[in-house]
Every structure is written in C-alpha cells, then in structure tokens.
Amino acid sequence: MRKNIVAGNWKMNKTLQQGIELADEIKNLLTGQKLRCEVVIATPFIHLASVSEVVKGSVIGLAAENCADRFSGAFTGEVSAEMIKSTGATYCIIGHSERRTYYGENFEILKNKVLLALENDLKPIFCIGEYLEERKKNIQNEVVGKQLDGSVFNLAAEDFAKIILAYEPVWAIGTGLTATSEQAQQMHAFIRSLIAEKYGKEIAENTSILYGGSCNPANAAELFSKPDVDGGLIGGASLKAGDFKTIIDAF
C-alpha cells in the first residue's frame, strides 16, 4: 500500500543555526507520538549534514531541495546527488516549480536529475503542476501529462516505483490560494490513471501523490481526506514547528 507522507520544504529560509533549532523542535514535537504518515523535511544544502545529526534515530526523513544534473566535476556551485546522499539525506525534491521557472530547469535536465538521484539511492519527490493561465485554458491535465512524459515516464517500472510525486499547481504555491480538495482529488486521480496506463494498476496504486500549494493547518485535513491525496508538500507552513505538526496530525 502507498504511504501517506507530509514533507516540509524550507526553500531558501533559515540560517544554519535556525535550521538546527527548527529540526530539533519538530523532532521533539514528534517524539513518542503515534503517526499516521511519514514525515520528511527538505532543507537547503548547507543544513543537510547538521540536520541529519539532529534527526538521526527519529521518525523524520531528510531531503535536499534540489540536486545537480551532472555526476561530478567542474560544475562550480553545484551539489551532486552523491554528495547529498553522503550527508545522510535519503530524499530529494526535483522539479519544483521555482526551479523550473527561475532556473530554467527543463524536462531533459529534470530527467537527468531524477536518474542521478535514483542512482545514488535518493528517493525523488518529483513536482508537477500547471500555471494559472494553463488552468484557465483548462489544459492542466495535458500540462501535467507532458511533465511526467518528459522526465519520469522514461524510467523502468522498478525505478518509477521508488518515486514520490507532488502535484503543486503553481498558482497555489506561496499565494494563499489553495486548490479545492475536489480540484486536488481530480488531478491526483488523473495522474494515477496515467501511471496505471504506463506502469499498470499495482504501481499506480502504490505511488504516493502529495498535494502542495498553500496547504496549512486549516485546510490539510480536508485535502488529506481525499482518496488520491496521500499527503502534502508544505512550504510556508513547514517553517513553524507547531503548524507543521498540526498538518501532520491532520492524518
């Protein structure tokens, strides 16, 4: 059966010291709690090694927010999947809309990142989602289908089965606008149907599909109540331990 997952995406927030403090706070809030979902925090690269020590032995999994599209070498400023793995992180967000929009990450680049993450035993949390203009034109299904085709549907079934998907309508990220739970359910069911067509029903049923986009303590329970919504990728609300815990408790 697929897993429910709540993953926090810190983005470019928190100094190293603040990040260690936040991770420690989250760990303390979760210690001894019976959880109905897996919990992951995605931190900036420079936090990974230290936060890895904080969360060691706890229920919290650690993710990078990105990785390089090359294995190693003369790529100044880049951080490879192998380096990420060496910090103790076990997940990697790939294809976040902010990376696609501000850093020109196209289907081909993202395809390489996914392959490198998998080669280095990192679980990709692969993000997909449409812009507002695309939803207004009612082409969101086509857009999301192309994103999957372009970067992950090339994978062999056994590799695709390691991937977590995050549907994040771009118009809902950091805007306070949330997709309704019906909109989320419709898209998640559509994504699952595409996976079933490509890889069969069993893999489709076992793939966790998270929702992301202004998910917060007030709307998480409603979103997570939908049958094809298997959790959330949480930006802003993951920066406060209490809010993040309330979202985790929504399961």
Which residue has tokens 């109540």? 225
Q: Which position's Cβ is nearest ligand PEP?
A: 235
Among 233, 241, 247, 250, contact with ligand PEP (rule: CB under 6 A): 233
Round to whole Å and give the CA distance between 66 and 70.
12
Instruction: Identify the residue among 137, 174, 180, 206 touching ligand PEP (CB under 6 A).
Output: 174
CB 19 within 8 A of CB 50: yes
Residue 47 annotated as catalytic? no
Amino acid at 164: I
Left (φ > 0), alpha (ψ -120 to 50) or beta: where does 11 sit?
Answer: left
From candidates 125, 234, 248, 250, binder to ligand PEP by CB under 6 A: 234
Q: Residues in contact with ligand PEP, total (CB under 6 A)?
A: 14
Q: Is 19 in the site for ligand PEP (CB under 6 A)?
A: no
Backbone angles phi, psi at 191, to 5 degrees: -60, -45
Q: In this complex, which beta carbon is closest to ligand PEP, that of residue 19 or of residue 235?
A: 235
Tokens of 149: 């085709």
Coil, strand or helix at 208: coil
Q: What are phi and psi of 119, to 5 degrees?
A: -60, -30
Is 168 known to be catalytic? yes
207-226: contacts with ligand PEP (CB under 6 A): 212-215
Candidates 51-59, 114-122, 147-155, 233-241; binding stretch for ligand PEP (CB under 6 A): 233-241
Residues that bind ligand PEP (CB under 6 A): 9, 11, 168, 173-174, 212-215, 233-237
Which are the catalytic amino acids? 96, 168
